[in-house]
Amino acid sequence: MSLRLGDTAPNFKATTTAGDIDFYEYLGDSWGILFSHPADYTPVCTTELGRTAQLKDEFAKRDVKVLAVSVDALDRHQGWVRDINETQNTTVDFPIIADETREVAGLYGMIHPNASETFTVRSLFVIGPDKKVKLTLTYPASTGRNFNEVLRVVDSLQLTAKHSVATPADWNPGEKVIVALSVPTEQAQEKFPKGVEIVKPYLRYTEI
């Protein structure tokens, strides 16, 4: 059974480019992003890990710890990191898990046999400080992920974890949000001092 939203993200111990880790200890009380790529020394994966490294400050601002994983060996990861740094004009300093035994891939359902028997697909999990799965993404090998979108979702997840709101289609930080259905309209004005715009009883906007 694959992992679903709200499930507990499984813990594991792993060998990584940043040394041996216990996943939960590595995350501590932070948010986490665990994402798999199909294989080292491949073009799309090179751009994805490079982009992730470039966004280091953005992840840090949001208290998100990032880890990549593939079934490649540690020495391949180490050699490939030099290529990523050189070609993507960055420095990869988040851990890349060497999952040769496929333990992590198995726990997180990252191998989709009808896509590839051997490689992990492009899976991505956002994990909350409570170790619950907050978001899952699955992309095929041929399509690189949009890491601006990953940051945008993290912003939405963190906002909606703190306030009784939801974020509308194409929302970006700073824009109007939707008052959660759980908040009765008579309480909404008090809860959201910047005001509530009622379009329909079920569609109410506010600002945070």
On whether the CB atoms of residues 71 and 35 are closer than 8 A, the answer is: no
Q: For ligand BEZ, which is the closer residue by CB, 27 or 97?
A: 97
- Alpha-carbon span 160 to 162, nearest angstrom: 5
Which residues are paired to 80 by β-bridges?
Answer: none
Q: Which one from 33, 34, 45, 96 is the annotated catalytic residue? A: 45
Nearest distance in Å: CB 48, ligand BEZ: 7
Which is nearest to 96 in space by CA: 40, 156, 44?
40
Q: For ligand BEZ, which is the closer residue by CB, 44 or 154?
A: 44
User: Tokens standing for 199?
Assistant: 């379009």
Q: For ligand BEZ, which is the closer residue by CB, 142 or 182?
A: 142
The correct pick among 27, 34, 44, 66 for binding ligand BEZ (CB under 6 A) is: 44
Q: Is 45 a catalytic residue?
A: yes
Beta strand ranges found along 1-113 (DSSP E): 13-16, 19-22, 31-36, 64-70, 96-98
On whether the CB atoms of residues 100 and 71 are closer than 8 A, the answer is: yes
Contact call for residue 45 and ligand BEZ (CB under 6 A): yes
Contact call for residue 43 and ligand BEZ (CB under 6 A): yes
Contact call for residue 110 and ligand BEZ (CB under 6 A): no
Residues that bind ligand BEZ (CB under 6 A): 38-39, 42-45, 141-142
Catalytic (active-site) positions: 45
